[in-house]
Amino acid sequence: MGSYSLGIEFGSTRIKAVLVDDNLAVVATGSSTWENQLVDGQWSYALEAVWTGLREAYAQLAAQAERVLGAPLATFSSIGISGMMHGYLAFGADDELLVPFRTWRNTTTGQASAELTDQLQFTIPQRWSVAHLYQAVLNGEPHVPQIAFLTTLAGYVHWQLTGEKVLGVGDASGMFPIDGHRWDPTRLATTQHLLDAHQAGIDLASILPDVRDAGEIAGSLTAEGARLLDPSGTLAPGIPFCPPEGDAGTGMVATNAVAPRTGNISAGTSIFAMVVLEHDLAHLHPEIDLVATPAGDPVAMVHCNNGASEIDAWAQVFGQFAARAGCELDNARLFGTLFDAALEGAADGGGLLAYNYLAGEPITGLAEGRPLIVRTPASRLTLPNLMRTLIMSSFGTLSLGMRILDGEGVGIDSMFAHGGIFATPGVAQSLMAAALGTSISVGQTAAEGGAWGMAVLAAYAGDQRGLSLADYLAQVVFASADIATLAPDPAAVEGYGRFLAAYEAGLAIQRTAVEAC
């Protein structure tokens, strides 16, 4: 099994494991579902759920791999862990979790975000780890002086499996600003001054993980880690790990978008676009994150808290109706039927409006979300129009953010997309092309998403050819990849423009809904 690499990604609703061979082809997969919960007003996941879900996903993968390969999984060449970026996992000197995990989805750090952005002259969004930390300081939370280690979800799992407190540079860039391939020393000093002014009692540099680049070895599976991952005892310790990464970084890898002037879109519970920059942005924009690829190159990120969850909710309603009517549909047929209907809808959605705001959305200035379907008496409520509107609405906030990059003159030669929303060929892809006014490419691994990208990073860490990450992806991984590219249809672009104008104007309805209920 020495030529196989394992990638594991902790997404918002699913933990997925993917095993690839030395050609980076998928050999076996496993998954487990989980849901965040509101704990004391904060979106959170229990750490017990991390390990329950991880073991379930790995057990499924191991069983499938044994059927395919004819032997149990005892070892393989490399492992990589990925997870939702940002958030707040604070541990004390005895490695105890000090407060429940606070995820990227929380919009409770507005004061900290604004102050840090002003003082650092660098956009610090509410979901970033340092914003959570500084807000806890501003709130006078008693756990702050006890913090000995602060990390992300991927960093936590990697630490437990290897004993190493490290992060890949891409994931690190969503905790605190990065200067090349390290924490920005000038901004570290400025932030430390702010913490000291509030008598926080912590040394920021000492509680952050070490930063590693893609291609490095960042520890190996310990005996304790092997038991955490595979309680059956079949998996042997000693397997090398690549640096843990965030879901943004694995999305870039999964779509071959790590070189300048390339971009990618990851669509799931949240939706975000990443564009690798040729030069710094001329202005500071609160709506735009400046992060890094797993190789440390600068990236502009448009991150929207709300993605495809509302589409899934409506699909389940239609699935329940079908079941009551005596027609059981599996997810592939259910979503395929609904998505195909969207292509028959009016280009502007027939006058319908939808808002997918399950959570707050900083880009549009909303601290909370209220999912809505809105229509006028003159609108045309049909299944095709409803589905087209739901899909277009999942891209609405992203479109508003991408307009800022257009205004900065950011060049994009290619834009790739991945995530389960693209599993039905040609539907979300064509509507995304209309939303952004540019060609969108989708690869055969689009639905596998970040877990496959993490497996590729794991394989890259063991590669002996000395290639840069961009060259490795271009020459090894994607050299003969099956890529489908769709150019924007002019009529769809014009229709989406009308929809977006109504969507932007209708945000007043969303704000009123938040105030009213």
Pairing, β 149-151 against β 89-91: antiparallel
| Mean pLDDT confidence for 513-517 | 93
Q: Give residue 56's pLDDT.
A: 98
pLDDT digits (tens, 9 = 90+) for 288-302: 989 999 999 999 999
For the residues of 227-279, what is the DSSP string, one character each? HHH-TTS-S-S--BBPPPEEHHHHHHHHTT--STTEEEEEESSSEEEEEE-SS
pLDDT digits (tens, 9 = 90+) for 311-342: 999 999 999 999 999 999 999 999 999 999 99
Q: Give residue 413's pLDDT.
A: 86
pLDDT digits (tens, 9 = 90+) for 436-489: 999 999 877 655 678 999 999 999 998 889 999 999 999 999 888 888 999 999
Tell me the domains of the chain and their CATH numbers.
5-246 (3.30.420.40), 309-400+490-516 (no CATH)
User: Would the pLDDT of 147 be above 60?
Assistant: yes
List b or e across 460-481, with b for residues whose CB sees 16 or more CB atoms inside 10 angstroms: bbbeeeeebbbebbeebbbeee
| Contact yes or no for 392/349 (Cβ under 8 A) | yes
pLDDT, mean over the chain: 94
The span from the first CA to the last CA of the chain, in angstroms, equals 55
pLDDT digits (tens, 9 = 90+) for 330-377: 999 999 999 999 999 999 999 999 999 998 898 999 989 999 999 999
For the residues of 458-499, what is the DSSP string, one character each? HHHHT--S---HHHHIIIIISTT--EEEEPPPHHHHHHHHHH
At position 190, the amino acid (one-letter code) is T
Joined tokens for residue 475:
């020459």
pLDDT digits (tens, 9 = 90+) for 234-279: 999 999 999 999 998 998 998 899 999 999 998 888 898 999 999 8
User: Would the pLDDT of 1 be above 60?
Assistant: no
